[in-house]
Amino acid sequence: MAILSQTLSSSTAAAIRIMYMIPALFIMLLLTVFFFIAYELFAIFVPKTTHNHNRNHSSPGSIAALLKPTSGCRSKLGELLQSRALANERLRCTFQLTNTFVSADPTIHSTFVRQMNALISKRRGGGHSTSDHQEWLDFLQVARGAVASQLNSPQSSTAASKSCASCGDSGRSCGEAFNSPFAEFIQLLTLKVIIAGLLDPDRDMDSIDGEDLRVSAKLITELWGKSKTPPPPSTTSSLDEAYFPSDLKVLKYHLRRLLPNEESYPNPIDFVIPTWETLWRLVATSLAHVHENEEYRQVFESLLEEPSYRQYRGLGLGDDSRTTESDAYPLIPESPMCAEWIINETLRLHPPSRHISRGFLGESDEANRTPFLRVLTAFAAKVIPRSIVQWVRHTNVSERSSASASSHLRLTVTEVADIESVHLSTQIWGADARMFNPRRWAVRAEGKVALTTTNDESGKTEPPVFFTFGHGRLACIGEKWAPMAAATIIAAVLEGIKVDGLEIVGTSHIGGRTGWDGWMIHPRGQPSPEILKDARI
């Protein structure tokens, strides 16, 4: 009996201890949950810019895996969009963009893609087949009209504008010589082509105001540069406030005048930047390589005679047996030059996006916590339902659908695809990788250069090495249309300046968004401004 009594007494004592421990454990659990939520909310709402990390990818395989993940959560469309939106946060805050490039919302993405595809396929020059002559002929006429308009615009000619101010005439009828900064000329005529040839093809080109073009092009370029050094968070009152509101207000005013249809274009900059900002640079850099080379110029003269995708790719040139698109890259390097090789080589040497970034949340979180915090938050993540954890960590981004909180998220990893390093790699492109050599594109991809993902004889998948238009599900929508459009504009420019007795002059340095000092369009044979300046000195 004594033993039984002692056993019951021990059991009772243990039960009592357990009863006292249950509330304590419950309180500890509540404190853990409270700590976890407070810690994560603190990370969201308190800026901690020092905890951002960069990872660089410079090999084709690594870049392909970043831009086109094949497994895991990163391969889902929502995750792909969010990673792009996080990386483009500075552009959202600078331009107040609302399109898919700054949004994690799949609905916004599908709507934008559908609208852009409709514009490309139904407007002038939308065809990609070998029977699209009429579509590209219409686009060529728009480009010719834009070139003629710019060549006769007083805003494009420093000498003509002065003369017209004195006599009250318009254009260059005063007989003064045409002198225009090269980059500005290409910017304005390309923007005019985008408006009249793609976004609003029913628009009368003469109704497009030159000042609207000039201010819009100038401010987009300036704001893009400013976006790389945004103001500190303390100078903005909210996450939705524009970085440079006064400049943006002026830009929006002029863009609305260029695209007055509010129903089709509620936020014009959402469409102008993706269509124009890279296209004008492709036209300018291509012309910088082409304008002094007779063979290259003849290629674009041929495109004027036959403005089609087939002519652009050089299908059927020289050898009549080369009649299919699979034969676009002939085996013989001495084959006739085509516009596609020139455009591809320009895009290789001067990729519009030298780096493509993606942002990811919380990937380096553990590295920034003390051992105690790591253990405690790991425990909290196990005991708290996963749905609550995901909501706490991501609700601020998902609710806004534009990743507007990215600059305030404490732990963000930015992974950067170094496109330029791959495009200039001597291991991939040969010893002359930094030279402009369109004929390198005359060699078939098989066994030489894997322009797209291919399988070798062993069945191994090889990554692409040409990333101008990105890679994967978020690749550029206009990757087929834009190169042909650029070639058509180039052909129209070369034709226009030749007819008017003008020429392009420049320096050994080819610019990008900026850096075009010394590049001019002026009468053929006239000394360049740099020579005249040296003579005066």
pLDDT digits (tens, 9 = 90+) for 428-470: 999 999 999 999 998 743 334 545 555 555 555 678 899 999 9
503 band by pLDDT with thresholds 50, 70 and 90:
very high
- Measured CA to CA, the distance from residue 464 to residue 367 in angstroms comes to 33
- At 448 the pLDDT is 45
Longest Cα–Cα distance of the chain, Å, equals 126
Note whether 323 and 315 are within 8 A (CB): yes
Q: Phi and psi for 190 in degrees, rounded to 5?
A: -70, -40
pLDDT digits (tens, 9 = 90+) for 267-302: 999 999 999 999 999 999 999 999 999 999 999 999
Least confidently predicted of 104-113, 209-218, 525-534 = 525-534
- At 438 the pLDDT is 96
pLDDT of 127 over the 70 cut:
no
* Strand-strand pairing, 502-505 and 520-523: antiparallel
* Strand-strand pairing, 412-418 and 53-57: parallel
**Percentage of the chain surpassing pLDDT 90?**
56
- At 51 the pLDDT is 46
Note whether 370 and 16 are within 8 A (CB): no
In the DSSP assignment, the letter for residue 129 is S
pLDDT digits (tens, 9 = 90+) for 26-43: 777 777 767 666 665 555
Q: Phi and psi for 67 in degrees, rounded to 5?
A: -85, -25
> How many Å is the Cα radius of gyration of the chain?
29
402 band by pLDDT with thresholds 50, 70 and 90:
very low
214 band by pLDDT with thresholds 50, 70 and 90:
very high
pLDDT digits (tens, 9 = 90+) for 325-384: 444 444 444 568 999 999 999 999 999 999 999 998 864 444 444 555 555 556 555 555
What is the average per-residue pLDDT within 144-167?
68
pLDDT of 217 over the 70 cut:
yes
Q: Look at domain 49-364+411-536 and name its CATH class.
A: mainly alpha
Can you read off the two tokens belonging to residue 268?
Answer: 């014009």
Beta bridge partners of 455: 461
- Measured CA to CA, the distance from residue 253 to residue 215 in angstroms comes to 10
48 band by pLDDT with thresholds 50, 70 and 90:
very low
- At 22 the pLDDT is 74
Can you read off the two tokens belonging to residue 101?
Answer: 């490039």
- Measured CA to CA, the distance from residue 487 to residue 286 in angstroms comes to 9
- Measured CA to CA, the distance from residue 324 to residue 217 in angstroms comes to 39
533 band by pLDDT with thresholds 50, 70 and 90:
very low
pLDDT of 397 over the 50 cut:
no
- Measured CA to CA, the distance from residue 420 to residue 397 in angstroms comes to 31
Domain ranges of the chain: 1-46+365-410, 49-364+411-536
CA distances from residue 33 to 29, 123, 162, 371 in whole angstroms, order as listed: 6, 57, 73, 18
Q: What is the DSSP string of 190-242?
A: HHHHHIIIII-TTS-GGGS-HHHHHHHHHHHHHHHHHHTSPPPGGG-SSTTS-
pLDDT of 216 over the 70 cut:
yes
- At 505 the pLDDT is 96
158 band by pLDDT with thresholds 50, 70 and 90:
low
- At 442 the pLDDT is 86
